[in-house]
A and B are shown apart, each in its own frame.
Chain A
């Protein structure tokens, strides 16, 4: 796709709040004076199922959709989901991933193994990995459920977003009265990914 556009693929588990991350980043990009579009899956995948989204940021963005092998960044809210969508990345692409496993049914039932070698698979493909424990940072910021905001902070360190605009977008995206702890979570993720 067009050279200056940045393609981000987002992957996680239903209930983690991936949609909020995507909308937060689009808002921040538009407020930063860029064009941006994003898409998420909804519906049946709401809880526990795999959810994913795409985000494109650039001077002029026609659509949020991009082809496998064209992603610059992959934001994984969970390592198995990061692995699942790693073919969306281009050569030299970067995976920003929270290492906390959320195991799907067939792994919980011990019918399939968890791919504990996910780091090797990604490294061998020449992809860069930036990892952090979203849960640890979210708990430190005061709420386990803020893993998504931690990870939004992490990926924001890789994107041309104005931090003040990102804060403004965060304020518009989270419930009233939770901004301060969400900001702590956002900054924790951002700092760990610099």
Chain B
């Protein structure tokens, strides 16, 4: 037993390790990325970044079939990808315990949509727990393995962004060993076609009632009676917020959120005058209580989307007269200018987006850092839906508009290396098979950057740093039917422009361009910085429109007030030269690292 300071994600990892996990697989997605990264620090188990969540789930299923303890972690949209194997495998009486840690994202802090993974739990006969602090994450993940083993069922641990990234003290419990039991063929459990799968379907019917009965014997919930005027049914983060803001209210805290201890909830209802359910997203608990004829309220007070945070809870219960309203000195944020994400200094996507914009090429976007190409001042990418969707969407749009007055010539799908490997290859096959003429731009930055610079099948480096096979994108594209494939180094913008014009505006598709600039952050790009000579600068703002964080328009002392010239913050410039290449008057110059350039500094604001 140890006392540690862990994040929620690290607590899942530690609990999985202490539960004797032998195989853990994942695909990086915020908010659950660091679960696998933390697990990879431990010895004695296999950890992998699989090419997609579906493969990760299959790897975990294989381990479970072999009688080993397995962990599979992913963000909520990952479950969509992994649901194909999961929603059939869940009919099995599983062998080794399988825990799936899923990170939901109410409020879309780092996701393209909002989903409530509790739906998968009910739909898939899968028990689910939801912790609200690092300690609870640890304890409940341990419990999840026990439940999975006891009921031969996959079990979900549902996290949300705030729980994944919450740090706090964790007291660990003694570790257990779970040796693999071995695989014994049994088609009723492992061969999911009729007639076997029909028997499995019938058998799984008893699973959730059995788990519910066990819960109702006194597991996975806490009733805390205080003031009987109002009882709050809640779980996870919201439980702790309620305890802080409304310490006198009676609470019924759920640790296991599917199935529900209906018996005890009925009893709790008898002990309080009024019952309110606090839950983020769908009225899942509320609906199930109402189905059980338990009189309660919930979504009458709280929205079905976004976060239910401390401010909202304080406000609602002040309206209900349960506490004083908070009266802050500032009622709302006084800042007007938003701050959206930007391409990093030196990012290889910046020269690409500058060229696509300036050439007016019609592009579909995908999931990765390059999605910022949809923001000002680029606004190059016109659609984005889900992982690798850009390829099929471009193909369908082109076919729909072909020969009409809306026809778009030269539609380009812009996709990163990791996303292409994740689920883009079937779309690539579709170019040749169904005679599509759209075009592909692969941004091969040799990194899964948006989720924190993970390696992937393109670098061939595993999560543990071993060197596996590195996939060559050009070879794969050619093998799948694209004959016209060319590589370009986009940092040479003159060369890249020629290639883009030829391939995206002149030659017929299908074809692919692979832009090879590596991620500046992952590979720590740091070259001689660039600086502006304000006496050459004409204030044309061409460099401003490459939107590099260190470049701004500034006032210099010797210039008339209000006549601004460009400036580069040398401390943040990594020397990629994109601004230098676009400057029409050669006002931007490369520094010599040993001597300070002899140009004046701006005077309007510091550094």
Contact = CB atoms under 8 A, between A and B. Distances in A.
Given A105-B342, A105-B375, A107-B337, A40 B165 contact: yes
Interface string B348-381: 0000000000000000000001000001110000
B208 interface: no
Interface in A108-133: 108-116, 121, 125-127, 133
Contacts of B331: 87
B330 A87 contact: yes
Contacts of A91: 327-329
B596 to A, nearest CB: 13
A157 interface: no
Interface in A63-89: 63-70, 80-81, 83-89
Contact of A44 (B30, B545, B552, B606): B30
A37 B167 contact: yes
Contacts of B552: 103, 108
B245 A67 contact: yes
Contacts of A45: 109-110, 341
Contacts of A109: 376-377, 544-545, 547
A43 B110 CA distance: 5
A9 B103 CA distance: 24
Nearest to B30: A43
B339 A49 contact: yes
Interface string B529-547: 0000000000001001101
A50 interface: yes
Interface stretch (A20-28, A159-167, A177-185): A20-28
Given A30-B169, A42-B110, A47 B337 contact: no
A133 B607 contact: yes
A65 B162 contact: yes
Interface in A23-41: 23, 26-27, 30, 35-41
Contacts of A41: 109-110, 161, 165
Interface stretch (B38-46, B306-314, B502-510): B306-314
Contact of B377 (A102, A105, A133): A105
Contacts of B330: 86-87, 89, 125
Contacts of A67: 245, 309-311, 313-314, 326
B605 A68 contact: no
A106 B161 CA distance: 27
Contacts of A99: 606
B375 to A, nearest CB: 7
B605 A101 contact: yes
Q: B31, B332, B335, B340 — which one has the most chain A CB atoms within 10 A of its CB?
A: B335
Nearest to A112: B337
Nearest to A110: B553
Given A39-B162, A63-B241, A115 B336 contact: yes
Given A87-B331, A109-B376, A48 B326 contact: no
A61 B244 CA distance: 9
Interface residues of A, number: 75
Contacts of A46: 341, 450, 452
B5 interface: yes
B166 A69 contact: no
Interface in B155-187: 161-162, 164-169
Interface string B226-250: 0000000000010011011100000
B342 A47 contact: yes
B521 A47 contact: yes
A89 B337 contact: no
Nearest to A53: B165
B451 interface: yes
Contacts of B245: 1, 67
Nearest to A138: B571
Contact of B327 (A30, A42, A69): A69
Contacts of A121: 334
A102 B549 contact: yes
Contact of B339 (A13, A36, A61): A13
A84 B553 CA distance: 23
Given A66-B310, A109-B376, A135-B607, A44 B110 contact: yes
A121 B327 CA distance: 17
A162 B605 CA distance: 36
Contact of B328 (A38, A43, A69, A135): A69
B343 interface: yes
Contacts of A144: 571-572
Contacts of A68: 311, 326, 328
A50 B5 CA distance: 26
A14 interface: yes
Q: A62, A100, A102 — which one has the most chain B CB atoms within 10 A of its CB?
A: A62
Nearest to A19: B165
B333 interface: yes
B162 A26 contact: no
Nearest to B344: A47
A105 B343 CA distance: 10
A174 to B, nearest CB: 16
Given A26-B5, A64-B166, A108 B544 contact: yes
Contacts of A63: 132-133, 166, 237, 240-241, 244
A87 B332 contact: yes
A61 B134 CA distance: 12
Contact of A43 (B162, B326, B451): B451
B101 interface: no
B31 A101 contact: no
Nearest to A71: B328
B340 A104 contact: yes
Nearest to B166: A39
Contacts of B340: 48-49, 104-105
Interface string B548-578: 0101110000000000000000011000000
20 contacts: A23-B5, A26-B5, A41-B110, A42-B164, A43-B161, A43-B450, A44-B450, A47-B343, A64-B166, A64-B168, A65-B309, A67-B326, A81-B335, A84-B333, A85-B333, A100-B606, A101-B605, A110-B553, A135-B571, A144-B571
Interface of A: 1-2, 13-15, 22-23, 26-27, 30, 35-50, 61-70, 80-81, 83-91, 93, 99-116, 121, 125-127, 133, 135-136, 139, 144
Interface of B: 5, 30-31, 33, 109-111, 132-134, 161-162, 164-169, 237, 240-241, 243-245, 309-311, 313-314, 326-344, 369, 375-377, 450-452, 521, 541, 544-545, 547, 549, 551-553, 571-572, 605-607
Given A65-B241, A89-B329, 12 more contacts: A2-B244, A30-B169, A42-B33, A42-B165, A49-B339, A62-B240, A67-B311, A87-B331, A105-B340, A105-B342, A106-B376, A110-B544
Closest 3 CB pairs between A and B?
A43-B110, A69-B328, A43-B30
